[in-house]
Amino acid sequence: MKVLIDQDKCVGAGQCVLAAPDVFDQRDEDGIVVLLQEYPPAELHEDVRQAARICPALAIELDEA
């Protein structure tokens, strides 16, 4: 799985950090998402999928090819 984020879409809600804190973080100054792991390990995939589903800005894209 490859994780792609669009910082321009991000609204800083922080739902991704709550769902998958090992993969996502937020910038201190504005709360915009920061990707910690572009290729997260398999044991985190379901958390990452959940983060993508609940993102209010649809700023997370997953490539599972």
Total domains in the chain come to 1
pLDDT for 65: 87
Mean pLDDT split into 10-residue runs, the chain, 65 residues? 98 98 97 98 98 98 95
Residue range(s) defining the domain that contains residue 26? 2-63
Q: For residue 24, what are its two tokens?
A: 């996502």
Q: Which residues contact 1 (CB under 8 A, 6 or more apart)?
A: 39, 40, 42, 45, 48, 62, 63, 64
Report the CATH number that the domain containing residue 44 is assigned in CATH. Answer: 3.30.70.20
